[in-house]
Chains A and B, each alone.
Chain A
Amino acid sequence: MDGSQDGNPVPATAGTPAVPSCRQLFVAFMRIGVTGVGGVLPQAQHELVEVRRWLTQREFAELLSLGQMLPGPNVGNVSIMLGNRFHGAAGSFACLAGLLGVPFFVVLAIAALYHEYGAAHWVQPFFRGIAAGVGGLVFGTGLRLLRAQPRAAWVPLIAGAAFVLVAVLRAPLMPVVLGLAPFAAAFAWRWMVRSGALR
């Protein structure tokens, strides 16, 4: 019942990277956590897809979409699912502990520093600049995820509708997801039948 038996990224074919150890999982997610300033999504994508190649861009998008629909931290959920795929419960624990453990102490140290120096005049604009930059980084990650999707007209249609509803009209997340998912599923099913991706 281990996820690695039927998950597609790990079969032992030539050219596929070896299954990472729990230690490697821990270290990778620790790097994601410690270097992921302002949220870890761009870093997770960079590390898991581009650096370690444990997931393709599309697999990452799939895990992330599940991680976003479940409660809890998005990348935390991705780490749990990826860890389980390689090493079951131990893998999940290694990934999540790596992601949260060290940044927990770093962020508290920064909070303590902020109490000392928070009054300096450049501190607030510096944080606001960072917040704006984080927005840009996350937007860039979204564009990269979009680029990894199949070339079909329904793809930008669904993505655009989700963007407008949430970013412009500020609709709550759950109704948007539940409302758009049936349309997306119908489009995807038709596209997969036509392109022969289903059987």
Chain B
Amino acid sequence: MDAALGFAGQLLLLSMFSIGGANVVLPEVHRYLVLQNHWIGEAEFGALVALSQAAPGPNVLVVAVLGYQLDGLAAAGLAILAFVLPPSLLTFGIARLGGGLRAKPWARVMRQCLGPLTAGLVLANGWILGASSGAGRAALPIAAGAALLSLFTRTSPVWIILAAGAAGALIAS
């Protein structure tokens, strides 16, 4: 249980730095679990991260998968709580405060200016995910196909994802 508690403690701290999502702190988690404490092997870590990316649910669940690997279900629960609770309380506090400010002119300028910035960051995130997928030359056609299907058809993302996985398996074989 020492590993699970240590990991949870580390996540409590890291959680407040996870600006932009869990992927931002993954290098630090890797350093802690693999390089510093040798609790999880290098190849194993990569496989567990890829699995979490491909599994349903928010990307933060990667910390639950890593906790599960360390010490089973309780460790998984501890890890996700440690990672999600602190920033959630902060966001909730800001949501409570922010309600009264929404109509102020400067708040409207802020919201207006953040839209294009967000769109650019989401585009960048998609690009990085595709580039680091490990699918090699197949990555671009698969990603482009997925993007076009989602933009020009009403196909549910679930089917697009499964088709992308099937295409990856077919191209590799």
Bound complex: CA A185 to CA B64 (Å): 38
Interface: A37 (CB within 8 A) = yes
Q: Is the CB of A62 within 8 A of B111?
A: yes
Within 8 A of A (CB), among B114-164: 114-135, 138-140, 142-148, 150-151, 156-158, 160-164
| B120:A158 contact, CB within 8 angstroms | yes
CB-nearest residue of chain B relative to A72? B87
Taking the closest CB of chain B, its distance from the CB of A26, in whole angstroms, is: 15
0/1 string, A42-77, CB within 8 A of B gives 1: 110010000000000010011011111111111111
Asked whether, in the complex, the Cβ of A184 is within 8 Å of the Cβ of B15, the reply is: no
Q: How large is the interface on B (under 10, 10 to 19, 20 to 34, 35 or more residues)?
A: 35 or more
User: Is B35 interfacial (CB 8 A cutoff)?
Assistant: no
Closest chain A residue to B100 by CB distance?
A: A6
Nearest chain A residue, comparing its CB with the CB of B97: A1
Residues of A contacting B94 in the complex (Cβ-Cβ under 8 angstroms) = 66, 70
On whether the beta carbons of A84 and B123 are closer than 8 Å, the reply is no
Complex: A175 Cα to B55 Cα, angstroms:
31
Determine if A180 and B117 form an interchain contact, defined as CB atoms under 8 angstroms apart. Answer: yes
Whether B163 contacts A133 by the Cβ 8 Å rule is yes
User: Which of these, A58, A72, A139, contacts B18 with CB under 8 Å?
Assistant: A72
Main secondary structure of the interface of B (DSSP, over half): helix
Set of chain A residues within 8 Å of B16, measured between Cβ atoms: 71
A76 to B81, alpha carbons, bound, how many Å? Answer: 13
Given contacts A136-B126, A166-B121, contact A129 B57 (CB under 8 A): no
Contact of A135 among B65, B69, B100, B127 (CB under 8 A): B127
Contact status B121-A173, CB under 8 Å: yes
Q: Which of A43, A72, A77, A128 contacts B168 (CB 8 A)?
A: A128
User: Which partner residue on chain A sits nearest B55 by CB separation?
Assistant: A107
Please tell me if the beta carbons of B113 and A129 are within 8 angstroms of each other in the complex: no
Main secondary structure of the interface of A (DSSP, over half): helix
- Is the beta-carbon distance between B19 and A69 smaller than 8 angstroms? yes
B binding-site residues for A, Cβ under 8 Å: 15-22, 24, 47-48, 50-61, 64-65, 68-69, 73, 76-77, 80, 84, 86-88, 90-92, 94-96, 98-100, 102-103, 105, 108-135, 138-140, 142-148, 150-151, 156-158, 160-169, 171-173
A sample of 23 cross-chain residue pairs with beta-carbon separation below 8 angstroms, ordered by A number, consists of A2-B99, A6-B99, A38-B129, A43-B157, A73-B58, A81-B91, A84-B99, A100-B60, A108-B68, A111-B68, A125-B135, A129-B135, A132-B143, A133-B163, A135-B127, A136-B144, A136-B145, A143-B119, A162-B120, A163-B127, A165-B124, A167-B123, A173-B121
Residues on A close to B: CB < 8 A?
1-8, 33-43, 46, 58, 61-62, 64-77, 80-81, 84-85, 89, 92, 96, 99-100, 102-104, 106-108, 110-111, 114, 118, 121-122, 124-146, 148-150, 154-156, 158-163, 165-167, 170, 173-174, 176-177, 180-181, 184-185, 187-189, 191-192, 197-199
With A126-B166, A129-B133, A134-B130 given, can you name 18 additional A-B contacts, CB distance below 8 Å?
A5-B99, A37-B54, A61-B119, A65-B114, A66-B114, A73-B22, A73-B60, A104-B80, A107-B61, A108-B68, A127-B165, A136-B146, A138-B122, A138-B126, A148-B115, A150-B112, A167-B131, A185-B109
